[in-house]
Amino acid sequence: MRLHARDIVCRRGGRRVLGGLSFAVPAGTALAVTGRNGAGKSTLLRVVAGLIAPEAGTVALEPADSELMVAEQAHYLGHRDPLKPALTVRENLDFWIRFLGGGAAADGAAALGMAGLADLAALPAGYLSAGQRRRLSIARLLAVARPVWLLDEPASALDAAGQAMLREAMTAHLAGGGLIVAATHGPLGVPAAELRLDTGPEAAA
């Protein structure tokens, strides 16, 4: 399996953010997307995730699965943690398991345990700290298996223990044949190739 982007062009607000960008990420490997603020790191992840349509270019998993789009085979972890404050930690995770089509194979309790949230399962998500909310978002990656992880500053708000948990999760994902594309300002925590985006005058946030 390989994630392949070819000649991606994307404009936002009339400005070119990505221009003719190509890269490939084989199974079992990670790609760290770097560059200063406004270079287009988040935009690139959203294009791969199918949240933004590029002006030109293609993104595909090879060999192709005729029945599934890349977005249906990928987890996207953005800047914001998509949680309902009134629902409990476990209810939030169960919602995402259903939404992502996890089915009987998904183990919410095990995912919360791996994320360090087992003791908080019955707590409304509105009471979580920023780091705990990030852990809950990571738990949905662990609960529903998808081969592609698209991570935007994944260690944001995590303390040292949370960063260690994330590193272990990424290591296990890669060891199982998954792949990772991550936008990051610092070390990713796992071995990764680097794609540094252009930071010229055409770049936009």
pLDDT of 136-174, one tens digit each?
999 999 999 999 999 999 999 999 999 999 999 999 999
Mean pLDDT of 52-59: 92
pLDDT surpassing 60 at residue 127: yes
Which H or E run includes 114?
Answer: helix 108-114
Query: What average pLDDT is seen over the chain?
Result: 91
Please, what CATH class does the domain formed by 2-196 belong to? alpha beta
Rg, the chain, Cα only: 17
Neighbours of 176 (CB within 10 A): 11
Mean pLDDT of 165-185: 96
**141, 149 Cβ separation under 8 angstroms:** yes
Sort 148 into a burial class: Cβ within 10 Å, 0-12 / 13-18 / 19+: buried
pLDDT of 66-105, one tens digit each?
678 898 999 999 988 889 999 999 999 999 999 988 876 6
Check residue 101 and report its DSSP letter: T
Q: Where are the domains of the chain?
A: 2-196
pLDDT of residue 201: 40
pLDDT surpassing 50 at residue 107: yes
pLDDT of residue 202: 40
Mean pLDDT of 164-188: 95
pLDDT of residue 199: 52
The pLDDT-based confidence of 3 (bands split at 50, 70, 90) is: very high
pLDDT of residue 205: 34
pLDDT surpassing 60 at residue 203: no
pLDDT of residue 86: 96
Distance between CA atoms of residues 154 and 134, nearest Å = 8
Mean pLDDT of 175-191: 94
Percent of the chain whose pLDDT exceeds 70? 94
